[in-house]
Structure 1
Amino acid sequence: MKRLAVAAATALLALFYRICRLFPVKRQVVCISRQSNDAPIDFLLLKEGLARKEPPYRTVILADKLESPLRYLPVMAKQVFFIATSRAVVVDSYCIVVSLLGSRIKAPVVQIWHALGNMKKFGYATLDTPEGHSSETARLMHMHEGYDAVAVSSLNFRDDLAAGFNVDPSIVFEAPLPRVDLLRDPAFRSRQREAFLREHPEMAGKKTIVYCPTFRKTPPPNEEKAMQNLLSAVDFDEFNFVFLPHPVSRQTIDDPRVITADRSGIDPLFAADYVITDYSTVMYEAGLLGVPVFLYAYDWGTYHEKRSFNIDLARDVPTLFTDDPSVLVKAIERDAFEPERYQCFVRNNITLPTHGTCTNHLCRYILKLVQQTDC
């Protein structure tokens, strides 16, 4: 039954795509995300970069979370129209329309993914595991099919990314996400930090810890206890504690001393003096900001059995890796962190372009694909 439904949906999408192809193809790029309902910063930066090209390119950003299949149908129709009438398509996550249409799409499709750097196995590398999808679902939905190019932050991990997307490594190219430009801009960081502190004047006079856990498909049984233990270890007379949940996580921390940040607002990472994470690529973003990072691996005993990694967290990440919150907080209080070793680790995962910004580097690559394709 599912197979027939997907086949019927694919046929309808293909028919609608052919109708939309009758409209003129414009000098525009469409960027599609289902990570949130807000335009991702990487897409906004791409939009600015493409607008500065000569001649300029228009950018259409379609950001819609899949919260209800029926309500998503008009979203998919809109995606088809702009895919059919654009010179290039950029996605930062799995896009149903792109994968089902596949090779029917005339414009080049570029997958830039939403996570910075290399970390966990995903996609085809995690099929039939507790944290992954089933092989049947992947085949049925043509998961991650239709890409002409895939961006990676460092070619050191080309094969890992190719395995996750099930693509030929030859289409994987080196291009860190545009947001890297902001993370490396001291003036931008200073403005963002000041703006976040203006929003939260109660944070004045204390150092700030930002806690950014990764997404877990199934919350671990010790999650609530682990959060209680962590908060009990923090001296709230000395530190602010900001909780930055993963975009698709439902985890909450119900404690009046904790500031829960909204990802649609100012990124609290810019106001962080210390970052606590676990198995999240936030560790690279914090590294680019020059903020000390500590890993709270309270469920490592079960998580690493559910999810495989491309790196050995305990060995390869040069910082504290512990399930003991008191040890973690004491390390923060002592500033027990080696910035030089950590920066070396970040450079191995994120290769900056030799000339210009990350945004311009990605824009140039997209437009080169456009020139090579007869839409």
Structure 2
Amino acid sequence: MGLKKIVLNIILSFVNIFVSLIPIKKNQIAFVSLEDNVLRDDFLDIYNHLDASHYSIKKVLIHYDKKSVWNDFLYLLNCIKQIIVINTSHIVLINDNNYVVSHYKRQGVKVIEVWHATGAIKKFGNAIKRQYPINNYDYVIANSDYWVEPYSLAFSVDKNNVLVTGMPRVDHLFDETYKEEAKKNFYLKYPKLKNKKILLYAPTFRGNIYKGFKAVDFDSKKLMSLLDEDTVLLYKYHPLMHNIPIEENERILNMNHENTYDLFIVSDALISDFSSIIFDYSILDKPLYFYVPDLKEYMRHLGCFVDYKKEMPGPLCYNEDELVDAIHSNKHYDIKAFKNKFFKYQDGKNVERIISFIEQLIKED
């Protein structure tokens, strides 16, 4: 254990002694995240559907970027706030791996993991080697029965506590009004992209928070030189890759600042790899292309929760030439069958099921 972790544990243990004297507030619900400074996606949908008059809502939010002493200090302060809020709340919602919950969660506090992805191609959590084991999560939200076993392993929860309610965020992709409004607003902002064939390139990161993040090699200029002039490529990197430069031109555009689902809606096809967004995108029944030049290495070092070669509903491409050939061939894949396997509910009412569970949990305890 490094010096920083030793100092963190000493401080948190000391704070926790005093927090343990404060009673848990039955109607207090906390949102805790290291991913953003504001509520977004699933958290925002759940928050908007909670009756604020019935609950005391607490938020502990920070965008943690482990790259400086100052950020480490802010993280320490955030952990102190976390331990106070988490251990005095009846219900705690998290959307990433949480150190405080894993080490200091108090009996009587119920933690619901609303994982920040709709599925998991690549292995994560306790299924891989990590700095500390994940513990003390009570429930995990999932989209289909397929995820019960992987999530039980990754988060160390009982299989019965993997709740197949569906993720709130995907409700939007079943909402025709939402999709029409998103399309309208996008083209008002980018009128030059109207009537273009839009390819969305949205890969996941390589590496980790401790060793740093990088992107897989991808020659977007070569790709575009081999495609029709009316085709444009939009980049949407994983948030952890925001510092990786993108060479833009008239046909290659950086869209990291735009909403991912809005880009889904206006795009004609998705190019991705091991990112969980392929599950979300399958809802729209549009072509998917998998650019995976490092597939063998990836499988050897990290591994997947799905049979990648068997399950992916699109061509696996190992270089730009193969990707171009796949786009030109436009071969049909059964994307609907893929969607039906990984989304139990397609009624746009996932958030209602989660709210119902939270209300039930508060009444029972």
TM range (shorter): 0.7 to 0.9
**TM-score, reference length from structure 1:** 0.85
1:150 maps to amino acid: V
Residue in structure 2 matched with residue 114 of structure 1 by the alignment? 116
How far apart are residue 238 of structure 1 and its match? 1.3
The 1-side partners of 2:221 and 2:301 are apart by: 24
Q: Deviations over 1:55-77 (max 9, x none)?
A: 64454443312222101222223
Q: Which of 100, 103, 110 is matched with 2:103 structurally?
A: 100
Q: Secondary structure of the equivalent of 2:25?
A: coil
Aligned to 1:73: 76
Gaps of 5+ in 1: 128-132
Instruction: Give the counterpart letter for 2:253 in structure 1.
Output: I
Q: Which amino acid aligns with 1:151?
A: I
Percent of pairs with identical residues: 23
- Say whether the 8 Å CA contact 2:213–2:240 is kept in structure 1: no
Once the two structures are TM-superposed, the CA of residue 323 in structure 1 deviates from its matched residue by 1.1
Once residues 225 and 173 of structure 1 are traced to their aligned partners in structure 2, the CA distance between those partners, rounded to angstroms, is 38
How far apart are 1:226 and its partner, in Å? 4.1
Deviations 1:7-30 (Å, cap 9, x if unpaired)?
4134124125335x25x8263421
Is 1:328 aligned to residue 312 of structure 2?
A: no
Cα distance, 1:274 vs. partner? 0.8
2:112 match: secondary structure = strand
CA contact (8 A) 2:12 2:83 kept: no
Offset of 1:288 from its aligned partner?
Answer: 1.1
Q: 1:254 aligns with which of 241, 247, 252?
A: 247
| C-alpha distance in 1 between matches for 2:91 and 2:323 | 46
Residues 293 and 319 in structure 1, CA contact (< 8 A), matched pair in contact too: yes
- Structure 2 Cα separation of the partners of residues 242 and 226 of structure 1: 13
Where in structure 2 are the equivalents of 1:128-167 lying within 5 Å? 133=130, 137-138=131-132, 143-167=133-157
Matched, 1:245 2:231: no
Preserved contact between residue 117 and residue 153 of structure 1 (Cα < 8 Å): yes
Task: Encode CA deviations 1:283-326: one digit per residue, 9 max, x unaligned.
Answer: 11111123221111122132222211111221112211111323
Contact 2:248 2:254 (C-alpha < 8 Å) held by counterparts: no
2:68 aligned residue: none
The counterpart of 2:336, out of the listed 338, 343, 367, is: 343
Deviation at 1:91, TM superposition (A): 0.5
- Contact kept? 1:13, 1:101, Cα under 8 Å: no
- Three-state SS of the structure 1 residue aligned to 2:45 is helix
Q: Contact between 2:283 and 2:339, CA under 8 Å: does it hold in 1?
A: yes
Contact 1:36 1:247 in 2 (8 A): no
Question: Contact 2:137/2:156 (CA < 8 Å) preserved in 1?
Answer: no
Match of 1:175 in 2: 165
Q: Is 1:190–2:190 an aligned residue pair?
A: no
Q: Report SS of the residue matched to 1:51.
A: coil
Kindly tell me the number of residue pairs found equivalent between the two proteins: 352
Q: Deviations over 1:208-245 (max 9, x none)?
A: 1111101211789993454454344343x211211000
Structure 1 residues 229 and 297: CA distance shift in structure 2, 3 A: farther
Partner of 1:300: 295
More divergent stretch after superposition (156-165 vs 213-222): 213-222
Query: 1:318 aligned to 2:316?
Result: no
1:50 aligns with 2:56: no
Name the SS for the 1:251 alignment partner. Answer: coil
Shift of 1:153: 1.6
How many Å separate the matches in 2 of 1:95 and 1:221? 23
Say if 1:36 and 1:233 are closer, same or farther in 2 by CA, change over 3 A. Answer: farther
| C-alpha contact 2:16 2:84 (8 A) present in aligned 1 | no
Distance of 2:143 and 2:201 partners within structure 1: 24
